Amino acid sequence: MASLITCPHCGVRPREEFSVRGDATPVRPLPNASDEAWHAYVYLRDNPRGQIREHWYHEAGCRRWLVVERNNVTHEVVSVTDAASKTAGGAL
């Protein structure tokens, strides 16, 4: 059986309808932040084992960005929320 994701707008959908942008936890530095802060934001990423938060795009459905919390070991999807509700002004 294919992996299923419950989109908050479209309901239960197959994983193939989505594309993954990546880690949803980094916080963008202020424009005047140090070069080190920008280097860390752009290039350095943790690769944790277990529950993670990622940005996913529902390209074959509502065309909305979502924040998917899932376990990268078991592939269990813990929660799915609209990314606009997680960011100031709804921008990614």
* CATH assignment at residue 44: 3.30.2270.10
Q: How many domains does the chain have?
A: 1
**CA–CA separation, 72 vs 78, rounded Å?**
11
In a domain, 12, yes or no: yes
Mean pLDDT for the stretch of residues 72-83: 94
Q: Which domain holds residue 50?
A: 4-25+40-90
In a domain, 67, yes or no: yes
Task: Name residues whose C-beta falls within 8 Å of residue 69's C-beta, 6 or more positions apart in sequence.
Answer: 51, 52, 53, 77, 78, 79, 80
pLDDT digits (tens, 9 = 90+) for 29-65: 999 999 999 999 999 988 899 999 999 999 999 999 9
**Tokens encoding 25:** 């936890």
In a domain, 34, yes or no: no
pTM assigned to the model: 0.81
The pLDDT value recorded for residue 91 is 46
**CA–CA separation, 62 vs 23, rounded Å?**
21
pLDDT over 80 (residue 1): no
In a domain, 49, yes or no: yes
